[in-house]
Amino acid sequence: MQAVAIRRGSSSPAVIETPRPEPDAGEVLVRTLRVGVDGTDHEVIAGGHGGFPEDDDHLVLGHEAVGVVEDPNGTSFSEGDVVVPTVRRPPNGDAKGYFERGEPDMAPPNLVHERGITGAHGFMAEYFTSPAEFLVKIPPELADLGFLVEPISISEKAFEHAFAARSAFDWDPETALVLGNGSLGLLTLAMCANFERTFCLGRRDRPDPTIDVIEELGATYVDSRETPVDEIPDVHEPMDFVYEATGYARHACQAIEALAPNGVAALLGVPEPWEFEIDGGTLHKDLVMNNKALVGSVNSNRRHFEAAVDTLSSLPEWLFDDLVTGIYSLSEFERAFQDDETTIKTAIQFDNR
Ligand code: NAP
Ligand code: BGC
Ligand code: ZN
């Protein structure tokens, strides 16, 4: 079968031939429908994040997948079920407790593999196998957009953890700021509909398709070249909730200053090392004196995937028309990895039946 992989030493993905996997006991064989591409895939391809499976010269990419059960192999699934796989897998017994509790997302990164990202092949192949426990069944009518369940699940988790950090008092947030107008930022902005006023940060000139989405969602576009994140409270207003999805390390610090008293910022970006100067004393005092919280959040578990399925079916259709800028067949896979200003979210389509 064909798969999209990054080879050791290469800086661009390629289509490779690889054996079709055979499901072991307890595993399901899934025929892949679509696999999305996100900023993490670009970081993996560039060598800034993730890692190859031990003893392999390549990594099959892709962690945002949707497929159809081809062979349930004696599990509780049926042939034809539409499924989305979770990302983390236990490489050995060290993370056993986290998986047993259904919380692999809370395991330290060195104890887990992430399919398509680190240590284990991903889903960007005509078929993949997975233990049944790591597959989430979704309604068949969501098959076309099922590759968005994984990224939405990332924000389901981040929201849960950030809001839990404000659960000890009467918190009534009104304002939300999303840092980043990539696919994660825009999906998350769409999930902020309960806030009274929303803002989204980018660094683009108009006209730009992401600014159009921001404004169609009723949010205010903030250009970081004109308004640095720490100046947002003066230019606009202080934010009760900040969601960082730029991977721009300075934003982790500036988010503290963008927060209103009692606010919380969720940090999602996965930056590379970058040293810069900050006034640590002022930030420390601000966090303490204003009861602010900073929450890091990575990955997501089955519960977040299930919540993401509900969210996916509740979001307006126009959003996906605007957000999904390209679905590409395997023969034009390179276009799915294009990273220009006309691209928001892309996916590779494997099944043309
Ligand atoms: P993406 O498509 O690369 O989006 C990042 C966006 O941030 C881009 O649109 C970029 O603008 C914008 N940006 C970067 N620096 C900026 C700045 N200084 N000012 C204003 N805008 C800036 O990536 P993504 O897929 O949306 O993911 C976002 C981040 O979250 C990545 O770091 C990714 O690795 C991380 N992530 C984390 C998790 C997790 O579990 N924690 C899950 C998924 C993704 P331009 O396009 O104009 O450059
Ligand atoms: C994936 C997560 C993963 C994280 C860190 C994200 O793009 O969606 O599942 O845990 O990257 O590798
Ligand atoms: Zn991702």
Assess whether 290 and 320 both reside in one domain.
no
* Same domain, residue pair 42 and 117: yes
Instruction: Report the candidate in 316, 350, 105 with the shortest Cα–Cα distance to residue 191.
Output: 316
Does one domain contain both 50 and 160?
A: no
Please report whether residue 102 resides in a domain: yes
Which domain, by its residues, includes 340? Answer: 2-138+316-349
| Residues 129, 187 within the same domain | no
Do strands 88-89 and 239-244 pair parallel, antiparallel, or not at all (unpaired)?
unpaired
Q: For 266-308, what is each residue's pLDDT tens digit?
A: 999 999 999 999 999 999 999 999 999 999 999 999 999 999 9
Residue 76 domain-assigned?
yes
36 found inside a domain: yes
Report which residue type is found at 252.
A
Inside any domain, residue 214: yes
The pair of three-digit structure tokens given for residue 236, joined into one six-digit string: 């606009």
Residue 158 and residue 69 share a domain: no
Do 211 and 290 fall into the same domain?
yes
Residues 8 and 117 placed together within one structural domain of the fold: yes
Among protein residues, the one with the nearest Cα to ligand 2's atom 9 is: 299
Number of structural domains (the chain) is 2
pLDDT digits (tens, 9 = 90+) for 62-118: 999 999 999 999 999 999 999 999 999 999 888 999 999 999 999 999 999 999 999
- Of 38, 33, 37, 87, which Cα lies nearest the Cα of 302? 87
Indicate the SS3 state at residue 28. strand
**Is the domain of 254 the same as that of 162?**
yes
Helices 183-190/209-216 angle, 10° precision? 10
What is the separation, in whole angstroms, between the first and last Cα of the chain?
16
CA of 84 relative to ligand 2 center, distance in Å: 15
Going by CA atoms, what residue is nearest to atom 12 of ligand 2?
117
**Those residues with Cβ within 8 angstroms of residue 96's Cβ, 6 or more apart along the chain or in another chain:** 90
One domain, residues 264 and 325: no
Which residues of the chain register pLDDT less than 70? 352-353
Q: What is the pTM of this model?
A: 0.98
Among 87, 268, 298, the mutation site with the greatest number of ligand 1 atoms within 8 A of its Cβ is 268
Q: Distance between CA atoms of 122 and 114, rounded to whole angstroms? A: 8
Examine residue 144 and state whether it is found in any structural domain, yes or no: no
